[in-house]
């Protein structure tokens, strides 16, 4: 089954729900199979890391955890507002993503 997400790696997104609601960040990684994204600096969790080799130090590490893609919304780079994404087919046949705000409507 072909699974697609509305956000891509490198997009700026805003979190819609959860402990980081309203915060913005850049998408670092996308997992279409799990329908999850990892956002830079958001959804920070603490992991207890065990030393794997002799001399290596273990401890508590803070890192970004994945969150469901349905909990994030893309931010338009032109108007700076969170927006739904539309698609427009150009004259040369390429498909571009478009901001759905009435006052913006620019492609990105």
What is the total count of domains within the chain?
2
Same structural domain, 33 and 80: no
pLDDT of amino acid 10: 93
What are the φ and ψ backbone dihedral angles of 51, each rounded to 5 degrees? -65, 130
CATH number of the domain encompassing residue 63: 2.30.30.30
> What residues pair up with 71 in beta bridges, in sequence order?
none
Encode 20-58: b = buried (16+ Cβ within 10 Å), e = exposed: beeebbebeebeeeeebbbbeebbeeeeeeeeeeeeeee
User: Which pTM does this prediction carry?
Assistant: 0.82
Task: Give the mean pLDDT of the chain.
Answer: 91
Query: Would you say residue 2 has pLDDT above 80?
Result: no
Instruction: Identify the domain containing residue 35 by its residue range.
Output: 1-50+59-75
């Amino acid at each position: 089954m072909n699974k697609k997400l509305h956000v891509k790696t490198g997009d700026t997104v805003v979190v819609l729900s959860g402990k980081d609601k309203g915060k913005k960040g850049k998408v670092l990684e996308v997992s279409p199979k799990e329908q999850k994204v990892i956002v830079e600096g958001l959804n920070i969790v603490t992991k207890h890391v065990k030393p794997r080799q002799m001399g290596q130090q273990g401890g508590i590490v803070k890192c970004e955890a994945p969150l469901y893609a349905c909990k994030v919304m893309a931010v338009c780079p032109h108007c700076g507002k969170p927006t739904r994404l539309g698609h427009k087919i150009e004259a040369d046949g390429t498909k571009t993503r478009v901001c759905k705000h009435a006052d913006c409507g620019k492609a990105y």
